[in-house]
Structure formats: C-alpha cells, structure tokens
Amino acid sequence: MAAVDHAHGHEHGHDGHGHHPTGLMRWVTTTNHKDIGSMYLWFSFAMFMVGGAMSLVIRAELFQPGLQVVSPAFYNQMITLHALIMVFGAIMPAFVGFANWMIPLQIGAPDMAFARMNNWSFWILPVAGSMLVGSMFVPGGASGTGWTLYPPLSIQMGMGMDMAIFGVHLLGMSSIMGSINIITTILNLRAPGMTLMKMPMFCWTWLITAYLLIAVMPVLAGAVTMLLTDRHFGTTFFDAAGGGDPVLFQHIFWFFGHPEVYIIALPAFGVISEVIPAFSRKPIFGYTSMVYAIASIAIISFFVWAHHMYTTGIPLTGQLYFMYATMLIAVPTGVKVFNWVATMWRGELTFETPMLFALGFLFLFTLGGFSGLVLSVTAVDIMLQDTYYVVAHFHYVMVAGAVFSAYAGAYYWLPKWTGHMYDETLGKAHFWLTLFFFNLTFFVQHFLGLAGMPRRIPDYALQFAEFNKLSSIGAFGLGLSQLLFLYVVIKCIKGGKKAEANVWGAPGLEWTVPSPAPYHTFEEPPVVK
Amino acid sequence: MNLTVYRLAKHLGAKMGSIGLFFALLPSLAMAKYEYNMEPPVSATGLSAYHLHNWMTMVCLVIFVVVFAVLGYSLYAHRKSVGHKAASFHENTLVELAWTIVPFLILIVIAVPATKALIAMKDTSEPDITIKVTGYQWKWGYDYLKGDGEGIKFISTLSTPQAQINGQEPKGENYLLEVDNPIVVPVNKKIRILTTANDVIHSWAMPAFAIKQDAVPGFIRDTAFRVEKEGTYRGQCSELCGKDHGFMPIVVEVVSDEKYAAWVEDQKKKMAAAAGDPNKVWTLDESKAYGEKVYATNCVACHQANGKGIPGAFKALDGSPIATGPKAEHISRVLNGKAGTAMAAFGKQLSDADIAAVITYERNSWSNKTGEVIQPSEIKAAR
Amino acid sequence: MSQTASRYFVPEPSHWPIVGSLALGLMASGAVMAMNGVAAGKFTLIGGFCVLVYMLFGWFGTVIRESEGGKYSKMVDSSFRWSMSWFIFSEVMFFAAFFGGLFYIRVLSVPDLASFENVKFLYPHFSDVWPSAGPAFKEKFTAMEAFGLPAINTLLLLTSGATLTWAHWGLVKDNRKQLIIGLFLTVALGIAFLVCQAIEYHEAYSEHNLKMTTGVFGSTFFMLTGFHGFHVTLGATMLIVILFRSIFGHFKPDHHFAFEAVAWYWHFVDVVWLLLFILVYWL
Ligand code: HEA
Ligand code: HEA
Ligand code: CUA
Ligand SMILES: [Cu+2]
C-alpha cells in the first residue's frame, strides 16, 4: 500500500513546478492546500475589514441620539450585511483557512482529499461575497431584514434580498463542498498509526463541525428557497392567508442557526485546545472527555433552536422543553472550560501572544456563555429578547470567542506559514488593545440591554446615550487596533527572525516539517507511533 | 433545599446582580443616571422573573469567580519564569465526572424557579379586560374587545417631532418614547393582550411588566399582565419591522378605576364625534386639506412628503400612473394594498372619509393635477 | 489496486473551478435580474448555465480520463465513497427542510389558523381540513389522487431501482450485455417517470385547479414533487452518462465507483419518492 510510485510522482509531484501556472493564475488554478488555505485567510481578513467597516457605520450612527449619519433604511441594510459578512465571510472562512493549512499537516496527509474541489470551494466565496456587497448598490439597496431574514419583512424587500438569497445559496455550496473535503480528508487520509483518538483536537473539532455544516447548510438553503418562491412564484409557505406561517421560517432558520453558532464556536475551541497545551508544556487534560464534549455539544445543538423564539408565542410545554435542552449545553461546554483550566494547572506557563489570546478567549467566552445561560431561561429571556443584552451575548461568544481564537491560531501558526517570527511586542500590544477596546465596546451593551434598549434601531431614547457613546468609542478603538494585526502579518511575511521547525516546542506533526512548511509535505506518509 | 437557597439569594441577588456587572465600568460611576440593571417590574410575575435574573447572574458570577480564581492562581504560580516545571498528568476520571455532574446539578437548581416563573407568566386566563393590539408599519392599533371600555378603538403613533430626530430642535425628556394616543388600563386588573399584525412581524414589549409578545400577521397570540402601581410605562416595538422599527413606541398609562372610567367616557364621546356625517359632500380644497393630514400620518413614512417615495423600495406617487390614471384603480390600491409589498391594505385601518381625502390629496398634489375630488361614498361603494 | 497509482492522488492545477465559479456567478446574477424584470437577466442565466455545462463536461471528462488512466488508488476510491455518502446526506437534509415545512403546516399552522381565537377574530369560516389552501383562498381545487398516476410512478421508480441493481450484478460478473441492457431500462423507466410527472402537472393545472399558487397545499405539493423531479432529471442524466461510458467499455468489475455513486443517488431519489408518495399523495 505504502509503496510510492516515483515515476508517477514526478509527473505532478515536487518536481512538477515547471509547467505550473505562475503569477495570478497560480492562485486561481491551484490545488495546493497551503495556497488555498492562505487565500481563505486573506479573503476572511478582507471580509472582516468590510464587515467591520459596516459595524463602524452602525456605531457611528449610534454614537449619540438622533439621526446623523445614515437613514434608518440604510442602517437596517448595514446590520444585515455586517452580520452576514462577518459570519459567512469572515469567521467561517477563517477557520476553513486554518483547516486547509493545518489538517493535512496535522494528520500527515499530502493535501486535502479533493484538491480541485477545494479550490472551487474557495473560489465560490468571492462570487458570493460580491453578491452580498453588491446588493448595496442595486435599486432599493441591500436586504434590510437583519441577518435572520424573517418574512414577511423579507418578502417586502427589493432585489437586494434576492441577491442575499442567492449569496446564501452559494455560500452554502461552498461550505458543503469544503466540509465534505474536510471530513473525507480526516477520515481517509490519516497517516498510518494516526488513529482517531490520537488526532490533534483541532482535527476533531473540524470533523464534527464539518458534519454540522453538511447537516444544516442545506436546511438554510431550503429555507431561503421557500422565501424566494414566496417572493416571486406565488407560494404561501410563510403567509397565513394561504395557510402558511411566518414563524415556520423562524423554525427552519434557527434549526440551521443554532448549530451554526457552534459551527463558529467548535473550530475556535479546537484552536484553543492546541494553543493552551503548547504554552503550558503539558498534554491537554481529559482528551477523551474533550472529544465527548464536542460531540455532545454538536448533538444537543440540533434540539434547542426555539430558544431564539421564546417570544413568538410557542406553547408553554415547548418553551419549557427548549429551555431545559438549552441549559444542558452548559454541561459539555463547562467540561471544556474546566479541562482547559486543568491543562494549565501545574504547567510551565509562558505568555506569548497566542497564549494571551487564548486566555482572553477563555475569560470572555465563558462570560458570553453565562449570558447565554441567562438568556436560555425563558422568563428572563422574554425581558431580554431583542435587546442589546443579546447583542452583548453574541459578540462575547463570537468576537471574544471566535475572533480571539482565530488570532490565537494565526499567531501560533504564523511562523510555520511564513518561516519568520512575528513581532512579539507588537503582537502583545495588539492583544491588550483588542482586549481593552472589545470590553469597552461590548460590556456596556449588557447594561443597555438590561435597561431595555432594543436592538436593530438607528436611534434611541436619551437614557441610553452614555453607554452608547462608550460603546462607539470602543468600536472605533477596536477597529483601529485590528490594523496593527495587518501590519504585524505583513511584517512577518516580509522578514524577521527565522523560525525553527518546532517554534513552540509543541507536539504534533505540523512541527516536524521545516518552517516555512515546504510547498509539498508528507508525499510519503509519516509513521505515527 | 434549592428553594431556600433561591429565596435567600433572591434578596442578595437584587444588589449583587448589579454590583457584579459594573466592574468594568469605573469611569461611569460618577454619573448617577446610569442603569446597571433592569428596572424592577411592577407586576408580580414580572418581579419573579426579575429576581430570577438577579439570582442567576449571581450564581454565574460565583462560578466565574471560583473557576478563574483557580486559573488565576495557576497563571501566577505555575509560570515558567518562576521556574515551575510542568507536571505530566492528563486525565482523572473522578475529577472529570465531578465537573460534569456538579454543573448539571446547578442547572437543576436553576431550572426549578425558572419553570415556576414561566408558568406564572404564561397564565393568561380569566382577564378583566381584553385588548387586541395590531402592529402596523409603523404604528400600533388598539382594540378594546372585552371588559370596561369595550368598543374603544384607536391608533397610536410616535409623537416626537421629526425636527427633534433630525437634531434641529433639542430632544425632549421622553424622546422617541412618546405617542399621540397612549393605551390606558386600570390598576390591579388583569389585562389580556391579544397581538396580531397587519403587515410584518412586530413585537409588543413593555419592560416594566416583563412582557414581550410578537405580533405575527395572520395569527393571534396572547400575553397578560396585572400592574400594581399607577404610572406611565414606556416600551418599544421589539421585532425588526422595516425602516421605522425604531420609531414605534408603546405607552401604557395605568390609572385608578375612577380615572379609567372617565377616560372610557371621554373616548366614547370622541369616537362618536369623529364618525361625522357620512353623506357630506366635500369640496376639492376641504378634501385636499384633510387628505394632507391623513397623508402625513399614514403615508409619508414611505411615499415621502414630496411624493417621490424611495427609489427601489417605495414607489413614487408623484406622476405615478395609478395616481394620475383611472381613479378606481387608485382607490382599490389604497383599500386593498398590494400583496408581497410594503403597501398595506388601508381599508382596514382608515375610514371612508380618510381614504377619500388622502386619494384626493394624492391626485392633486405635486405634479399630479387631475382636479378630481373623491367622495367618501365612492370608497364605501368600492369596499 | 491499480499498478500505476500512488497512495495519494493530488491533481494538477486546474482552471475548471474558476470556470465553475464564473458559471455560478452568471447564473445567480442572471436569476436575480430575471426575477426583477431586468431584460438581460434571462440571457445571463442561460449563458451561465451553458458555462456550467461546459465546466461539468470538462471537469468530469478530466476525472474520467484520470480514472480510466488508472491514477486512482484504493485510497482515492474510498475518498470518493465517503464524499458521495456525505453529499447524499446533504441532499437528505435539503429535502428534510421541505418535509419539515410540510409537517409544520399540516400539524401546526393550519390547525392553529383554524383554532379558537384565530377563527373568532380573523377567519370566521376557516376550518382545519387537509388539503388546505388557507383562509384567503376562495376557489375550489382538488388534490391529486394517490392511486392513479402517482402509484404508477411509484412502480416505475421501484422497478428502475431493480433494473439498476440487475445492471450492477452484470457489471460485477463482467457481463457487459446485462450491464448495458439494465442501464438502458433504468434510463427508460426514469424518463417514463418524468413524462408521467409532466402529465400529472398538466392535469393538476388544467383539471384540478391545483397550482403553485394554491395556498400551502399547492406550495408544498409543487415544491416537494418539483425538487424531486429535478433530482430525477439529474439522476437520469447521470445514468445516461454512465450508460454511454458502459457502451464505451469503461468500468471494471472491481473498479467502478462512478457507477455505484450514480446508483446510490438513484436509490436516494427513489426513497424520497416513497416518502412523497406516502406523505404528500396518500395521507
Ligand atoms: C459562537 C456563537 C455562540 C455560542 C457559542 C453561543 C452559546 C450559547 N448561547 Fe447564544 N447566540 C449566538 C451565538 C452563540 N451563542 C447568537 C449569534 C445569537 C443571536 C442571534 C440573533 O438573534 O441574531 C445568540 C442568541 C442566544 C439566545 C437567544 C436570545 C434572544 O434572542 O432572545 C439564547 C437563549 O437561550 C442563547 C443561549 C446560548 C447558550 C445557553 C449558549 C451556551 O452554549 C453557552 C454555554 C457556556 C457556558 C455556560 C459557560 C461555560 C460553562 C461553565 C464554566 C460550566 C458551569 C456553568 C454552569 C453550570 C452555569 N443564545
Ligand atoms: C462573527 C460575527 C461578528 C463580528 C466579528 C462582529 C463584530 C462587531 N460587531 Fe457585530 N453583529 C453580528 C456579528 C458579528 N459582529 C451579528 C450576527 C449581528 C446581528 C445582526 C442583526 O441584528 O441581524 C451583529 C450586530 C451588531 C450590532 C447591533 C446592531 C443593531 O442591532 O442595531 C452592533 C452594534 O454595536 C455591532 C457591532 C460590532 C462591532 C463594533 C464589531 C467589531 O468587533 C468589529 C471590529 C472590526 C473592525 C472595525 C474592522 C477592522 C478595521 C478597519 C475597517 C479599518 C478602519 C478602522 C477605523 C478607521 C477605526 N454588531
Ligand atoms: Cu414594529 Cu418593529
Ligand atoms: Cu442558539
């Protein structure tokens, strides 16, 4: 089996660079997982900028009461695009980028299972992204429905809504293809001896995330397809006059939407589970229970969706069931938090930038988890639903959760990708600035929510003015701080101290190949003992 | 057991909940106006949910502090820089079981009061007064269905002047939280609210009563409250319903029985007066002048004062083929709206006189010069 | 294991993905324009579709050449199997959304609309019967009879599943004739199914007054059967490709993943039909 036919290997292997396209065409046609991973990461950061710029429009409008910067209709378009772009354009592709780069390296495979399709998964994204961004410029503008696209409001929208619908279809295709690729790679291309239970935790989280994606992206596609036919072909899925129900859309959307939040969270957990052991110089605590915890989170996540719909008027029994089920997710998530703490316990801790971001993640994600738990309690959620408390909750889990973890991963693996060390001082500065401004932006939003400020409004009553001002100042600080990251990355690519193969003294196959990782790795499988 | 813990903590909770939350907010301490917590609800069911929230916040805070105290110690003591050497343990079944089971138990302790509070909240049986609330883009319609005041009906819209919103005038105290016709209910009576909507989903929310109920078009949903303190309470639409979602507040005045009776009396008189003479024949100027008012409260949000609408979203009426063509079509469009667009069927909301006047106005304003006067009788016939 | 294949297979750089993205972009923007009355929309949509077909020919052509050229190892073969299974799983979930919608409408929304308070205030004469087109639908319509054309269609599809399996046996035994006849019959049955479906739609519109716009019954009926029909079309197209490849002598008794993939897909479409027959037509 393991015999490698060298004559064949030459045809497309390490010596085959000669007839490979160069320049732009190299990137357009590439089948190399590292190239594709880099493209994903760059795309994701670009989208983070675009989505972030939109959040700054939001925060600028909310800086003080009254309408100053944008019209209410445009404000609604901004929140919709901000959320769609951040979730589908920035966060998800960022972790797919990590998956592309790291999974083959971590399991000892030469590339992804379907390298050509991998390229296609990526190249659908710019098309989908342009559909979303482009919808701003058509008559009537982008969809002003919020990222949840609830009908009948979404039935009223103009052609920007159709662009969002097709954008979501495309994003779904990309995600499904990407996920099939990742699952197949993990299940089929592991090096001999790399059993499932020896796999790095990052691979485990992605295995399960990919499964979630394949299960729920088609459901979202179905939901928006029904929207499309309701809009243009006279069906009445979401129209009571024809026997349908607008709330049906919400059920289908959140059947996708809740697993989606774990699609965002799980790979983040995976990165953290790589970084914390590395800087504690200790193996991860409770590997097996970690795996079970991830699996339980994924399974439970299918059965809790209606906690987003407590105020729609679902019956009492339904509310109780969804409340209990939702609360249950705290248990496996708790296991993960405790295991991370135990990993650090009696370790040999150092605090380089990746570790700082991981610790920031741990603190803030747990806080966000707690506010989630508060929201899961129906009687309390009825007071807080659709207020800034919810906005605070999900930015804690998604920005301090997913974005922090993406930064932890980026700093952790940058030396492997570029062959250079990043600037530690600037990295640390980036961390502290981000931490401070993040909390300034979003911590105060808890108070706004408790005081009753609804979300998705461009203007607000006077008692909310002070906290909104702080939050807006925070947001601009947060945005500026991210430019520092861009600088650090470019500096690191351009040069810097040479990185050794195993920069952090961490275990794992990715650290056995030189830095930067050569264009082709593991053409013959390493043997894992 | 857990209930005693809960009751004990409830009292502490009210204070601790907010204390815990203000940590990161040192700079704002000076300003007394700040709210760090919810306003304590004025209904019994709301109050129990409020205490539940405070208590939960405290439970979470305690867990947070304990977990991160442990971590904090580790971060301090187990640093490489102080020469700590890594241990090599990496599992312990007992400990792992413990931190699976203990959180589970804590959740059960939370679930018990959570269940009770919810059951109390959802009880909408045996109301004294039933009011139907209809969400429109972007105003609320109230319909007193049963109990004292039966038959009262009105529409409630934002009364903050546009000039305040645009910053041309200083903002008033109740900026964005004030309406022309507040809903009035008696104190200590159980009020049942039925919600529905005419166009898109809205949500009828009143923080002080701990109430939030989506108004779903085509369906009736319900919620209830019994307020124990007189006063004026303010809330806002809490489901994104289009561009003026931020501008459809809810104001409830809770008054004594006597005042309520007087208000009912007053409303009945007003309604009788408003009905007017259905057979009156309007002149162009009369109709146009009244129509302008109707237009300003009902249509201007979308079609704009200059009749140009918002391109791509709301059609222009200025020069529109419908507003200048045969009037039957114009009447039908306003009465029945257009399905699948934001253009609602105004036949359900406005009287014949209103609709006649607004159509006259539209057909004789901006560059539209049909010279026609629409009479209420024509609307009646078209219905 | 094929002699020339290495353990892993990493393909050459390829321009097919970007062509595919271009196709999708054209189709999506074309559809948006067409639905909003922009004249260029239709042409863009059709143009995009042509590019997509071109891409599919090119891409699958490459794959077939690679496969026949013996470049695919056992490992690649099992990768294909995993991927096809997960792809079918994603299709299952796509249909699940529509079946879930049907379930919700029948069990929750229609009864709810006909329940006490809604009837009292909103729809005085509406009652909970299925098929229903909702309270605002005033015309008469009738549902399709399960034991007419749909039952025949069920038979057609079930038989096609059998002929396909028979063809597979032929392939495994290296009995080419059986393979080709079996495939041919399967394709014929599939096309017969589609023809019946077309007749049924025609009847629905002309005799039953059952249209896409006939409230939720029409919506769910046409959406579910329509997407199923679309999948049958895809499946039949793939079967035709496989048929031609068989005629050209492709596939070996121990190496014919493409055949199996199409067979899996066909059986999946079959199962969906059975569910449709029971849930949409019968009950
Ligand atoms: C990464 C994304 C992410 C994650 C991980 C979560 C995690 C959780 N979320 Fe959140 N959520 C969102 C993203 C996310 N959420 C988004 C985007 C929305 C809004 C969408 C919209 O409307 O636009 C939302 C909204 C939302 C709502 C609806 C609010 C509303 O609209 O009214 C609810 C209600 O139940 C909820 C609950 C939870 C819970 C219980 C968890 C749990 O998984 C949290 C579990 C974690 C912990 C509890 C902390 C660690 C545990 C311990 C230390 C153990 C010990 C603890 C105890 C025993 C208490 N979330
Ligand atoms: C992972 C997803 C994600 C991420 C990363 C973010 C990041 C941010 N989000 Fe957002 N957000 C959502 C997901 C996300 N959000 C979702 C799902 C909603 C709900 C939408 C809905 O209601 O439908 C939402 C809604 C939402 C709201 C509520 C709007 C409303 O309800 O009316 C607000 C308001 O403050 C906000 C703010 C921010 C800010 C300040 C950031 C910051 O973290 C962003 C920081 C980054 C940058 C700013 C970009 C980088 C730098 C530059 C562009 C350079 C230029 C900078 C300067 C000149 C200063 N977001
Ligand atoms: Cu009405 Cu929001
Ligand atoms: Cu959720």
Do B223 and B143 fall within a single domain? yes
Q: What is the pLDDT of residue A170?
A: 96
Residues A198-217: pLDDT tens digits? 999 999 999 999 999 999 99
pLDDT confidence bin for B196, thresholds 50/70/90: very high
Q: What is the Cα–Cα distance from B149 to B142, expressed in whole angstroms?
A: 12
Binding site membership of A79 for ligand 2 (Cβ less than 6 Å)? yes
Supply C271's token pair.
């199962």
Give ∠ CA B256-B260-B265 in degrees, rounded to 5. Answer: 155
Decide if A30 contacts A22 (C-beta within 8 A): no
Active-site entry in A111, A274, A381, A423? A111
Q: Does B126 touch chain A (CB under 8 A)?
A: no
Tell me, what's the pLDDT at C183? 94
Supply the Cα-derived Rg of chain C in whole angstroms: 23
CB contact under 8 A, B222 and C118: no
Q: CB–CB of C121 and B222 under 8 A?
A: no
A195 counts as catalytic: no
What integer pLDDT is reported at residue B276 of this predicted model? 64
Which amino acid makes up residue A283?
P
CATH at B236: 2.60.40.420
Query: How large is the average pLDDT for residues A326-333?
Result: 95
The answer on B238 and B160 residing in a single domain is yes
Work out the average pLDDT over A249-274: 96
Mean pLDDT, rounded, for A452-467: 93
- A156 contacts B341 by C-beta, under 8 angstroms: yes
Looking at residue A128, its pLDDT comes to 96
| Length of chain B (residues) | 383
Asked which of B246, B273, B300 is the last residue of a domain, the reply is B273
Tally Cβ neighbours within 10 Å of residue B317. 25
Residue of chain A whose Cα is closest to the Cα of B51: A380
Residues B27 and B61 in one domain: no
C74-104 vs C257-276: helix axis angle to the nearest 10?
10
**Is the model's pLDDT at C228 over the cut of 90?**
yes
Inter-chain contact B219–C118, Cβ cutoff 8 Å? yes
Asked if B220 and C118 come within 8 Å (Cβ–Cβ), the reply is yes
Q: Which residue has the higher pLDDT, C31 or B349?
A: C31
Q: Is 60 exceeded by the pLDDT of residue A523? A: yes
Most confidently modeled range among A18-32, A123-137, C65-79: A123-137
Domain boundaries, chain C: 1-72, 75-282
Residue with tokens 């089996």, as numbered in its chain: A1
B194 to chain C: closest CA residue: C117
In this structure, are residues B248 and B140 in contact, taking their beta carbons and an 8 Å threshold? Answer: yes
Indicate which residue's Cα is closest to atom 49 of ligand 2: A52
CA–CA distance, A90 with A83 (Å, rounded to integer)? 10
Q: Range with the lowest mean pLDDT among A19-28, A93-102, B118-127, B320-329?
A: A19-28
Cα-based distances in Å from C188 to A190, A256, C184: 42, 38, 6
Beta bridge partners of B79: A349
pLDDT score at A200: 94
Nearest partner of A289 among B68, B87, B100, judged by Cα = B100
What pLDDT sits at residue C279?
Answer: 92
> By three-state DSSP, how is residue B206 classified?
strand
Q: Output the pLDDT for position C243.
A: 94
> Looking at the complex, does the CB of residue C75 fall below 8 Å from at least one CB of chain A?
yes
The pair of three-digit structure tokens given for residue B258, joined into one six-digit string: 């006597």
> What CATH number is given to the structural domain containing B309?
1.10.760.10
Torsion of CA B168, B173, B178, B183, to 10 degrees: -170
Beta-bridged to residue A76, according to DSSP, are none
Q: Collect all residues of chain A within an 8 Å Cβ-Cβ radius of residue B207.
A: 383, 452
Taking an 8 Å cut-off on Cβ atoms, the answer to whether B219 and C113 are in contact is yes
Total domain count for chain B?
4
- Same-domain status, B198 and B301: no
Give the whole-angstrom CA distance, residue A523 versus residue A526. 9
CB pair distance less than 8 Å for A370 and B60: yes
Q: Is the pLDDT of residue B17 over 60?
A: no
Digit-coded pLDDT (tens) for A206-247:
999 999 999 999 999 999 999 999 999 999 999 998 889 999
Predicted local confidence at residue B101, as pLDDT: 94
User: Are B301 and B333 in a shared domain?
Assistant: yes
Locate all alpha helices (DSSP H) within A451-528, ordered by sequence. Answer: 465-494
| Residue B306: CB atoms within 10 Å | 12
Which of B273, B292, B322 is the last residue in one of the domains?
A: B273
Q: What CA–CA distance (Å, rounded) separates B140 from B158?
A: 9
Distance A455 CA to ligand 1 centre (A): 17
Residues A162 and A180: their CA atoms lie apart, in Å, by 27
- CB distance A162–C32 less than 8 Å? yes
**Predicted ipTM of the assembly:** 0.91
Q: Enumerate residues with CB within 5 Å of ligand 4 (an ion).
A: A 258
Indicate if A175 belongs to the active site.
yes
Residues of B in contact with C122 (CB under 8 A): 196, 218-220
User: Residue range C267-281: average pLDDT?
Assistant: 93
**Gap between the Cα atoms of A481 and A52, Å rounded:** 12
Ligand 3 atom closest to residue B137's alpha carbon, by position in its atom list: 1
Q: Is A300 helix (H, G, I), strand (E, B) or coil?
A: helix
Q: What is the extent of the structural domain holding B21?
A: 2-31
- Residue B183's H or E segment, with its range, is strand B183-186
Please say whether the beta carbons of A313 and B213 come within 8 A: yes
Across A101-111, average pLDDT: 92
Higher pLDDT, C7 or A501: A501
Place of tokens 């079944």: B93
Residue C108 near residue A235, CB atoms below 8 Å: no
Question: What distance in Å separates residue A343's CA from the closest CA in chain B?
Answer: 7
Q: Is residue B38 part of a domain?
A: no
Using a pLDDT cut of 70, give the percent of chain A over it. Answer: 96
Task: Provide the pLDDT confidence category of residue A17 given band limits of 50, 70 and 90.
Answer: very low
How far is it, in rounded angstroms, from Cα C156 to Cα C195?
11
Whether C113 sits inside 8 A of B194 (CB atoms) is no
Compute chain B's Rg from CA coordinates. Answer: 28
The closest alpha carbon to A392, from A444, A326, A452, belongs to: A444
| C111-157 pLDDT tens trace | 888 887 777 777 877 888 888 888 888 888 888 888 888 999 999 99
Q: For ligand 3, is residue B202 a contact (CB within 6 Å)?
A: yes
Ligand 3 touching residue B354 (CB < 6 A): no
Catalytic choice (A40, A75, A206, A262): A262
Are residues B19 and B55 both part of a single domain?
no
> What CA–CA distance (Å, rounded) separates B163 from A232?
39
Please tell me the predicted confidence (pLDDT) of residue B35: 63
Alpha carbons A133 and B160: distance in angstroms, whole number = 34
User: How many angstroms does the Cα of residue A481 sit away from the middle of ligand 4?
Assistant: 29
Residue where the block lists tokens 């741990």? A362
CATH hierarchy code of domain C75-282: 1.20.120.80
The verdict on C164 touching A (C-beta cutoff 8 Å) is: no
H helices of A63-158, in order, are: 72-84, 92-107, 115-134, 153-156
Helix orientation angle between A246-280 and A330-344, rounded to the nearest 10 degrees? 10
pLDDT tens figures, B239-296: 999 999 999 999 999 999 999 999 999 988 888 877 666 677 888 888 888 888 888 8
CB B247 within 8 A of CB B228: no
Q: Which range, A393-407, B21-35, B325-339, is most confident? A: A393-407
Q: What is the mean pLDDT of chain C?
A: 90
Specify the amino acid at residue C53: V
Mean pLDDT throughout B52-58?
92
Q: Which CATH architecture has domain C1-72?
A: Orthogonal Bundle (1.10)
| Cα–Cα distance for residue pair A393/A140, rounded to 1 Å | 32
Task: Collect all residues of chain A within an 8 Å Cβ-Cβ radius of residue B67.
Answer: 337-338, 341, 366
Residue A178 burial (10 A CB sphere; 0-12, 13-18, 19+): buried
SS3 call for C252:
strand
- Measured in Å, residue B203 CA sits from the centre of ligand 3 at 6
Residue A444 is predicted with a pLDDT of: 94
Enumerate neighbours of C (3 or more CB pairs within 8 A). A, B
Q: Which of C32, C118, C213, C216 to mutate to test binding with chain B, by most B CBs within 10 Å of its CB?
A: C118
Q: What is the CA angle A368-A293-B100, rounded to 5?
A: 80
Q: Does the active-site annotation cover A273?
A: yes
Chain segment A175-190, per-residue pLDDT in tens: 999 999 999 999 999 9
**Residue in chain B lying closest to C121 (CA):** B220
Contact A186, A207 (CB under 8 A): yes
B29: pLDDT strictly greater than 70: no
Segment C55-83 shows an average pLDDT of 87
How far apart CA A475 and CA B207 sit, in angstroms, is 27
pLDDT for A11: 39
Backbone φ and ψ for B265, nearest 5 degrees, come out as -55, -50
- Chain B CB contacts of A238 under 8 Å are none
Of A40, A29, A49, whose CA–CA distance to A126 is shortest?
Answer: A40
pLDDT tens track for B144-176? 998 888 889 899 999 998 889 998 888 888 999
- Residue C78 contacts A where some CB pair is shorter than 8 Å: yes
Nearest residue CA, atom 1 of ligand 3?
A: B202
Q: Are A2 and C7 a contacting pair at CB < 8 A?
A: yes
Which residue in the list A121, A154, A326, A333 is annotated as catalytic? Answer: A333
Q: Are B268 and B152 in contact (CB under 8 A)?
A: yes
Percentage of residues in chain B having pLDDT higher than 70: 90
Q: Which long-range contacts link A54-58 to residues 24+ away (Cβ below 8 Å)? A: A54/A78, A54/A81, A54/A82, A54/A85, A55/A82, A55/A86, A55/A475, A55/A479, A56/A475, A56/A476, A56/A479, A58/A82
Helix, strand, coil percentages (3-state) for chain C, rounded to 5, are: 75, 0, 25
Residue A19: per-residue pLDDT: 60
- Decide if A177 contacts A511 (C-beta within 8 A): no
Predicted confidence (pLDDT) at residue B37 exceeds the cutoff of 80:
no
Give the DSSP per-residue string, A8-64.
Answer: HHHHHSGGGGGGS--THHHHHH---HHHHHHHHHHHHHHHHHHHHHHHHHHHHHHTS
- The CA distance from C150 to C141, in Å, is 18
Give the strand pairing for B183-186 and B153-156: unpaired
| pLDDT higher than threshold 70 for residue A390 | yes
CA A173, A177, A182, A187 torsion: positive or negative?
positive
Q: Which residues contact C170 (CB under 8 A, 6 or more apart)?
A: C176, C177, C178, C179, C180, C181, C182
H/E stretch holding B154 reads: strand B153-156
Q: Is the CB of A329 under 6 A from ligand 1?
A: yes
Closest-CA residue in chain C for B145?
Answer: C121
Residue B268 lies in a domain: yes
* Shortest-distance Cα residue to atom 13 of ligand 1: A394
- Residue C141 phi/psi, 5° resolution? -150, 160
**Residue C54 confidence (pLDDT) above 60:** yes
pLDDT of residue A398: 95
Q: Is the pLDDT of residue C270 over 70?
A: yes
Is B54 found in the same domain as B9? Answer: no
Bridge partners, B310 (sequence order) = B314
Angle at Cα A299 formed by Cα A298 and Cα A304, nearest 5°? 95
Among protein residues, the one whose CA lies closest to atom 43 of ligand 1: A329
A519: left (phi over 0), alpha (psi -120 to 50) or beta: alpha
Q: How many residues are listed for chain C in this entry?
A: 283
Token output for A130 = 């342009």
pLDDT on residue B376: 85
Tokens of C280: 């949409």
Subunits next to B (3 or more Cβ pairs <8 Å) are A, C
Report, in angstroms and rounded to the nearest whole number, the Rg of chain A calculated over CA atoms.
23
Q: In the numeric block, which tokens belong to residue A287?
A: 């590997």
Domain boundary residue, one of B212, B243, B273: B273
| In a shared domain, residues B27 and B55 | no
Q: The tokens of A468 are what?
A: 């909104």
Phi, psi (rounded to 5 degrees) for B251: -125, 125
| N-terminal to C-terminal alpha carbon distance within chain A | 18
pLDDT at B26 (0 to 100): 40
Residues A334, B246: C-beta atoms closer than 8 Å? no
Question: How much is the pLDDT for A15?
Answer: 40
Among candidate residues A55, A135, A174, A366, the one labeled active-site is: A174
List of chain C residues whose C-beta atoms are within 8 Å of the C-beta of residue B219: 112-113, 118, 122
Q: Name the residue of chain C whose CA is nearest to B219's CA.
A: C118
Catalytic residue from among A273, A343, A371, A405: A273
